[in-house]
Amino acid sequence: MIVLLTDFGLEGPYTGQMQAVLHREAPGVPVVSLFADLPPFDPRGAAYLLAAYAGEFPLDSVFLCVVDPGVGGARGVCVLRADGRWYVGPDNGLLAIAARRAVHRQWWSVAWRPPRLSATFHGRDVFAPLAARLARGEPPPDGPVAAPAVGADWPDDLDRIVYIDRFGNAMTGLRAATIPAGARLEVGSRRLPRARTFADVPRGDAFWYENANGLAEIAVHAGRADRTLGIAPRTPVRILPKDA
């Protein structure tokens, strides 16, 4: 299957135009929209979400990743093969964390461009055709290269909010398994205890928990954490000892 991860938003023509290319170039291959509403212009935050969610998909899935504020500029085009899955996206660090957490990885820098190329919509004109090619079982059009430099110095876990879901829950770039037992998360002026699930705290209380994909997520039982705590994507998060 081909898996879409973009900051295009839930409205407008952009996702539909990419899907049209995929259905034309790789007919019969299922297309799944994983994230269409990533925080805009933030490939760094999206990199940690991609790494956390990719493992749920079958081997040979192709991740078509477009968070690309540098579209039309000097940034390159990357293809990554990591632990049996393909990733296509801009050379801006978006694929870096998925690569780092993989046991086996190989990179390609793709020079291919179509005869008709928009300056501002490489998702449709470059990344979607490349993803379709991989989904058809064809190799990348250019030879393998060394790992890109962008993202190489990013931390293994990102201590800030990377995504707000429709319920107002706030995902961080921190893997819950890396946080010491009993630790609290500090966001703004609030220090939040850990709970297993929503029902373990009173209605209206804020807490953090390990979400279904292993990330530390901040929530309010029967409420919205973003409004209650005044947080948004890029809000920093601190890990505090149990008694802090």
Whether residues 178 and 139 share a domain: the answer is: no
Q: Residue 151: inside a domain, yes or no? A: no
The gap from C-alpha 78 to its chain's centroid, in whole angstroms, comes to 15
Question: Sorting pLDDT into bands at 50, 70 and 90, what band is 99?
Answer: very high
- Cβ atoms of 173 and 160 within 8 Å: the answer is yes
What are the CA-CA distances from residue 223 to residues 84, 106, 124, 167, 220 (Å)? 39, 43, 38, 8, 5
Is residue 208 within 8 Å of residue 185, measured between CB atoms? yes
Residue 13 has pLDDT above 70, yes or no: yes
Q: Which amino acid type is present at position 43?
A: P
pLDDT (average), residues 80-97 = 98
What is the β-pairing status of strands 85-90 and 105-109? Answer: unpaired
Sign of CA dihedral 109, 111, 115, 119: positive
pTM: 0.96
Do 27 and 138 lie in one domain? The reply is: yes
pLDDT tens string 115-148: 999 999 999 999 999 999 999 999 999 999 999 9
Task: Look at residue 4 and tell me whether its pLDDT is greater than 90.
Answer: yes
Query: Range with the lowest mean pLDDT among 78-82, 150-154, 182-186, 240-244?
Result: 240-244
Pairing of strands 62-66, 31-35: unpaired
What pLDDT, on a 0 to 100 scale, did the predictor assign at position 3? 98
Domain that holds residue 88: 2-145
Contact 229, 188 (CB under 8 A): yes
Specify whether 76 is located in the same domain as 34: yes
User: Is the residue at 98 inside a domain?
Assistant: yes
pLDDT at 114: 96
Q: Which of 73, 66, 70, 8 is nearest to 36 (CA)?
A: 8
Residues 94 and 36 in one domain: yes
Rounded CA gap, 201 and 190, in Å? 16
pLDDT at residue 15 in the model? 97
What's the number of domains the chain is made of?
2
| 30 domain residue, yes or no | yes
Contact 64, 95 (CB under 8 A): no
Say if CB 49 and CB 162 are below 8 A apart.
Answer: yes
202 belongs to a structural domain? yes
For 177-230, write each residue's pLDDT tens digit.
Answer: 999 999 999 999 899 999 999 999 999 999 999 999 999 999 999 999 999 999
Same domain, 171 and 125: no
Condensed to tens digits (0 to 9), the pLDDT of residues 18-71 reads 999 999 999 999 999 999 999 999 999 999 999 999 999 999 999 999 999 999
pLDDT at 244: 66
Domain CATH code at residue 179 = 2.40.30.90
Which residues contact residue 206 at a Cβ distance below 8 angstroms, ignoring those fewer than 6 apart?
A: 190, 192, 218, 219, 220, 225, 228, 229
The predicted pLDDT at position 19 comes to: 98
